[in-house]
Structure 1
Amino acid sequence: MATLVGILVSLFALEVALEIGTQTSESHPSLSWELNGQRQTGSIVIDSNWRWLHDSGTTNCYDGNEWSSDLCPDPEKCSQNCYLEGADYSGTYGISSSGNSLQLGFVTKGSYSTNIGSRVYLLKDENTYATFKLKNKEFTFTADVSNLPCGLNGALYFVAMPADGGKSKYPLAKPGAKYGMGYCDAQCPHDMKFINGEANILDWKPSSNDENAGAGRYGTCCTEMDIWEANSQATAYTVHACSKNARCEGTECGDDDGRYNGICDKDGCDFNSWRWGNKTFFGPNLIVDSSKPVTVVTQFIGDPLTEIRRIYVQGGKVIQNSFTNISGVASVDSITDAFCNENKVATGDTNDFKAKGGMSGFSKALDTEVVLVLSLWDDHTANMLWLDSTYPTDSSALGASRGPCAITSGEPKDVESASANASVKFSDIKFGAIDSTY
């Protein structure tokens, strides 16, 4: 009887699963890359959050930053009534690819809407994300952030999201990886419209300053490795460990005043050359010249993981990472437990990195394969000041200065108006043994 009940529940879940629209065919832009020196034929897919969500006709299930009360009175009926549509990558989202190169545009005025930024994932095949085991490996790519001003972030990073977009584990997530489902990260985002295939409509609150976004009751948490967060003025790479990967609610998400009580280290441990004492290393016409493309090499040393190293290659020259030059922190050029613990003490920041297990905890989290994410975004919460300016803005504490941008910069409405034509380019993605990809 228990087995029969289980079958009936599964059949019901399949019956009410989020459906796939037929008004725009889903054709993934191709993107080749290298694995152990061998060319891989891959492609990219845009996240489900960016897609048109409608009923069996053309009525929106989600319009602006609000759900339709008629089509989505509860999560189950929302899944039953709604269709996730295919994407016009260039026309709607400003995304283009050629060979091993991908460009993400910032503001794209389409036939029916204006799109802001994007988030895409590398696919192994039409229904599966490419996944990576990082320990004792090296990841390399070339970035061009010359067209990204203060307030924008051209990001490339890994998250421990399911390779099939959750389709096999959660029957409601029927569109799966082919339609960009399953996202999670260490910030435990509440703005995901679907988590585990279920509409995140409970307690949904439209954003007060983002006409396209809102937040629901649930967040979705998982380990994150920020390989590259950058604009033309600043860059950082950051480790974020989570004690588990899961849908969360309330305290488990680290919401509100419980930031350090959640399952993920939201602050992470970062290496930002400007923040750690070298203001002449990265930027236009500096040692690593952000006005030109730069090849970025990240090495994951050891299993268990003990160190994450950074190397740059530009103009035919290998450039070692900058060394720290701040009081209380030994002169180092990579992320280790010692570096993270020392900089947390020096800055007075809460050491949630250590609380979540430090490098050992992160190493354990990397036993799970991770998915490659590429994105371009502006920041409706903190104007990207945590990356490229002084944050908190009223602080003179060590480590508060993170880049040269003004504390008044990065306001999304200003960036979207003044820098609509901004873009980021990623190319030459390579993965393999240490010192083999550059």
Structure 2
Amino acid sequence: MPLSLQLSLVGLLATLAAGAATTPLAEEHPLLPTWKCTTSGGCVQQNTSIVLDRDSKLAKGAAGSRTAADYAAMGVSTSGNALTLYHYVKSSPASPRVYLLDSDTNKYVLMSLQDNQELSVDVDMSALPCGENGAFYLSEMAADGGGGAGASGGYGYCDAQCQGSCCNEMDILEANSMATAMTPHPCKGSSCDKNGCGYNPYASGQRNYWGPGKTVDTSKVFTVVTQFAASGGKLTSISRKYIQNGKQIGGGGTISNCGAEGGSGGLPGMGQALGRGMVLAMSIWNDATQQMAWLDAGTNGPCASGQGSPSNIQSQHPDTHVVFSNIRWGDIGSTTKS
């Protein structure tokens, strides 16, 4: 491509991005009801919805459609309390990421989970092969998305890898049908624990715990419950259990330490972020560089080299998707009480 044409395209994209920064795409945010629970009052439905990340919107805008964010074209759909995310749409990568919006769609929902709270979600990962990642996690984003187009425009993303900017990140669930990890990534300012302090059952020696037909049978729907235990206002542990076919499954792992408090903040720092409130993000993605080996290959999972390459996934599993539903948060023991 001639240099002059390249520069023209760069200028056009910059202009579109600048325009989008001040003029958010008009859209209807798909409804996704959730529940906030207490041990005394039960669960109360929240009038929540979802919004696509701004980068998805800009990509769509650059293609010439800036009047509305096309959720279906980006692999996103909701039905009742269920959210479905497809990686590929009409053979093209979509890889969507969405955030949970409050009933006031100018603000994200801030989940405050430090003080003996839990977060539960029903998941269907049966269509996620090796190399794919259905991610359900928390980011310490600003409630208003940083102003301007803000939350209603999907602005303000940050994480412990310092994409966008650096902030605390709690990976509740990064998983496919073959492997899973739960990982806090505390940050103190711009000093973040990028590797985190994860718990992966396979890497911990539980080779028959997670997978199709295994203890947690990923060929079927199950409930993921993550509990944040605190003492004296300080986070002391993060633990995991599962519920499937009406039965509770233990052995999901407990994290009681996460690096030096004086460095990235450690587990107490993660707890402080959870106490301030964090934004729920949900996404589906794969990884051309590492092929998600850090999650599901070698000592981390049963997947073989090459299985997780994006080209293999697209050719062998073009319908790969994840479903998150029945999202509830509140006092420990309150979100799964029938």
Q: TM-score range by the shorter chain?
A: 0.7 to 0.9
Q: Would you say the 8 A contact 2:32–2:83 is kept in 1? A: yes
- Per the alignment, do residues 87 and 241 of structure 1 end up closer, same or farther by CA in structure 2, a change over 3 Å counting? same
- For residue 270 of structure 2, give the secondary structure of its aligned residue in structure 1: helix
CA distance in 2, matches of 1:298, 1:386: 21
Deviation at 1:425, TM superposition (A): 0.3
- For residue 242 of structure 2, give the secondary structure of its aligned residue in structure 1: strand
Which of 265, 286, 290 lines up with 1:382 in the alignment?
A: 290
CA distance in 1, matches of 2:59, 2:224: 37
Which of 220, 227, 245 lines up with 2:165 in the alignment?
A: 220
| Residue pairs, 1:341-380, within 5 angstroms | 355-380=263-288
Moved over 4 A (4+): 82-85, 351-354
Deviation at 1:83, TM superposition (A): 9.9
Which of 40, 52, 56 lines up with 1:50 in the alignment?
A: 56
TM-score normalised over the length of structure 1? 0.67
* 2:219 aligned with 1:321: no
- Per the alignment, do residues 353 and 380 of structure 1 end up closer, same or farther by CA in structure 2, a change over 3 Å counting? farther
Which of 107, 128, 134 lines up with 2:107 in the alignment?
A: 128
Q: Would you say the 8 A contact 2:101–2:107 is kept in 1? A: yes
Q: Would you say the 8 A contact 1:86–1:179 is kept in 2? A: no
CA distance in 1, matches of 2:226, 2:179: 17
Which residue of the partner structure matches residue 6 of structure 2?
Answer: none
* 2:321 aligned with 1:432: no
Which residue of the partner structure matches residue 22 of structure 2?
Answer: 19
Which residue of the partner structure matches residue 74 of structure 1?
Answer: none
Deviation at 1:21, TM superposition (A): 5.8
Deviation at 1:354, TM superposition (A): 7.5
Q: Would you say the 8 A contact 1:53–1:84 is kept in 2? A: no
Deviation at 1:176, TM superposition (A): 1.1
* 2:154 aligned with 1:180: yes
Residue type at the aligned position of 1:417: S
Deviation at 1:179, TM superposition (A): 1.2
* 2:319 aligned with 1:421: yes
- Per the alignment, do residues 354 and 389 of structure 1 end up closer, same or farther by CA in structure 2, a change over 3 Å counting? farther
Deviation at 1:334, TM superposition (A): 0.6
Deviation at 1:106, TM superposition (A): 1.3
Structure ranking higher on relative contact order (CA contacts 8 Å, 6+ apart): 2
- Per the alignment, do residues 133 and 38 of structure 1 end up closer, same or farther by CA in structure 2, a change over 3 Å counting? same
CA distance in 2, matches of 1:53, 1:19: 16
Map Cα deviations across residues 318-342 of structure 1 (whole Å, 9 max, x no partner): 11124xxxxxxxxxx41002xx5xx
Q: Percent identity?
A: 43
TM-score normalised over the length of structure 2? 0.86
What 5-or-longer segments of structure 1 have no aligned partner?
1-14, 64-81, 168-173, 190-218, 245-251, 253-262, 323-332, 341-350, 391-400
* 2:46 aligned with 1:40: yes
Max Rg structure = 1
Q: Would you say the 8 A contact 1:267–1:352 is kept in 2? A: no
* 2:122 aligned with 1:139: no
Map Cα deviations across residues 325-372 of structure 1 (whole Å, 9 max, x no partner): xxxxxxxx41002xx5xxxxxxxxxx5788423212222333321000
| Residue pairs, 1:176-325, within 5 angstroms | 176-189=150-163, 219-244=164-189, 263-302=191-230, 303-322=233-252
Q: Would you say the 8 A contact 1:237–1:272 is kept in 2? A: yes
Q: Would you say the 8 A contact 1:19–1:83 is kept in 2? A: no
- Per the alignment, do residues 16 and 104 of structure 1 end up closer, same or farther by CA in structure 2, a change over 3 Å counting? closer
- Per the alignment, do residues 353 and 403 of structure 1 end up closer, same or farther by CA in structure 2, a change over 3 Å counting? farther
Task: Please provide the CA RMSD for this pair.
Answer: 2.3
- For residue 33 of structure 2, give the secondary structure of its aligned residue in structure 1: strand
Q: Would you say the 8 A contact 2:51–2:101 is kept in 1? A: yes
Residue type at the aligned position of 2:113: L
CA distance in 1, matches of 2:138, 2:67: 25
What 5-or-longer segments of structure 2 have no aligned partner?
1-17, 38-42
Residue type at the aligned position of 1:153: N
